[in-house]
Structure 1
């Protein structure tokens, strides 16, 4: 009876572990499909490049959509925002943002580009661009995840953030409103004055691409199969005989 009880407990534990690994595998598959859908949507937008007015950035019904947008206006004389922990290749850096006020519509954040950080982490200067016309990809801000840390004001007024929490930034910048989408500047657009920003239209910077999620899903499913195989082997293998056991003698 004790052996059966141990087998039942072992299978219960194995099934719980298999269920956990399988769930993690399907979660990774879900993330793969989600990110692939995002990449496909952006590819379609970049293929057409039909510019929409900057005012569409304020549409709450399209807060998670992608669009190519362009329009006139001016960069507001407000502090720059530097998004920290933004690697590019093997270099550490930040992504610089400024508030742009369109001729008509709600102000929105514009990503000027990526800048490297030196070894002493001295923050780069982000001059106010004199540009009066911008074009680029409208998209939701990078996910803040579970981080809830306010942006830290630097001595020059620049805000250093580890996540783009738009309501929090709107409050820090003392703006009555801020569009729910941000604009990634067209890499071909030049800004003056300003440093040599590195720009791209990558919507998944510093995150896992779809193929990595697929690889992790395969690993989790493989672990689930390994646990199942181990449980089957331990259940159906023949018990080994005790070494040195003697055959009982028979007496005439």
Structure 2
């Protein structure tokens, strides 16, 4: 009789323990998604402010480590270096797979930096496109921004038959030797789409990533699951108590 009573007490306790663990996990995931949504909203707000003002700064600002995660409108003159083009793989545009093309630009009086020329589609055989190399002294302008995140995957550049460097992430320390420079700034220049140079492009800072509203939607789902677990655990607990009372009454 004593063992039976102990088991009756243990089962609800175990159930609630598992339910609370699941609720904590779901709430943690929901909180993380909310945090990501706020981060991206702040990023978009900062970019909007920069694009409204469009107060041109020096391209040398790209090398400022203190602003490595910030956004600035910059402009300057210089030449595109005789160095391999860098192709960022796994880039979607209008539902099509392709690459984003970058070339090394050497501004007058400033360190070399990568300039995004735009997006190009890839054919079925994934033959890499030939990337133009603008000649002569050129004035460029655009948005200084952190390069697209490549997550935890290794961003090693591989040389293609045409000489291009194909990579899944713009890892400055890894790319610098291949581009024959001592170092690369932590930011790249997203070329102004209004310039008659390069390929299809925009100033979107969240390409191929989730926008804030998607993160918010996922957060609601995770919190909803936590609530569902709580409701289910409460219902099962109430049923268990009712059955116990009925057995005692019998």
The TM-score range, normalised by the shorter chain, is: over 0.9
Cα offset for 1:240? 8.8
Aligned-partner Cα distance in 2 for 1:25–1:180: 31
Residue of 124, 128, 151 corresponding to 2:129: 124
Residue of 5, 9, 12 corresponding to 1:4: 9
Aligned-partner Cα distance in 1 for 2:113–2:154: 21
Deviations 1:4-54 (Å, cap 9, x if unpaired)? 101111111000000000000000000000000000000000000000011
Bigger CA drift: 106-115 or 165-174? 165-174
Q: Secondary structure of 2:110's partner? A: coil
In the TM superposition, 1:7-22 aligns within 5 A as: 7-22=12-27
Cα offset for 1:118? 1.1
Aligned-partner Cα distance in 1 for 2:155–2:206: 21
Is 1:70 aligned to 2:70, yes or no? Answer: no
Please state which structure has a larger fraction of its residues in helix. 2
Residue of 109, 115, 122 corresponding to 1:110: 115
Aligned residue in 1 for 2:162: 156
Cα offset for 1:156? 2.0
Which runs of 5 or more structure 1 residues have no equivalent in the other structure?
none
Cα offset for 1:166? 1.0
Cα offset for 1:172? 2.2
Residue of 107, 131, 140 corresponding to 2:146: 140
Deviations 1:72-127 (Å, cap 9, x if unpaired)? 00000000000000011211110000000000111000000000111111111002
CA RMSD for the aligned pairs? 1.7
Cα offset for 1:144? 2.1
Q: Secondary structure of 1:133's partner? A: strand
Q: Secondary structure of 2:69's partner? A: coil
Q: How many corresponding residue pairs?
A: 240
Is 1:233 aligned to 2:235, yes or no? Answer: yes
Aligned residue in 2 for 1:29: 34
Q: List, as ranges, runs of 4+ consecutive aligned residues in structure 1 with deviation greater than 4 Å.
A: none
Is 1:185 aligned to 2:187, yes or no? Answer: no
Deviations 1:157-190 (Å, cap 9, x if unpaired)? 1000011111111122231121111000000101
Question: What's the TM-score, normalizing by structure 2?
Answer: 0.93
Is contact 2:104–2:179 with CA below 8 Å preserved after alignment?
no
Aligned-partner Cα distance in 1 for 2:221–2:228: 10
Is 1:173 aligned to 2:175, yes or no? Answer: no
Aligned-partner Cα distance in 1 for 2:180–2:156: 14
Aligned-partner Cα distance in 2 for 1:224–1:185: 44
Aligned residue in 2 for 1:98: 103
Which runs of 5 or more structure 2 residues have no equivalent in the other structure?
1-5
Question: What's the TM-score, normalizing by structure 1?
Answer: 0.92
Please state which structure has a larger fraction of its residues in strand. 2
Q: Secondary structure of 1:85's partner? A: strand
Aligned-partner Cα distance in 2 for 1:190–1:224: 52
Aligned-partner Cα distance in 1 for 2:177–2:150: 17
Is contact 2:172–2:183 with CA below 8 Å preserved after alignment?
no
Q: Secondary structure of 1:199's partner? A: coil
Aligned-partner Cα distance in 1 for 2:183–2:221: 45
Aligned-partner Cα distance in 1 for 2:58–2:155: 32
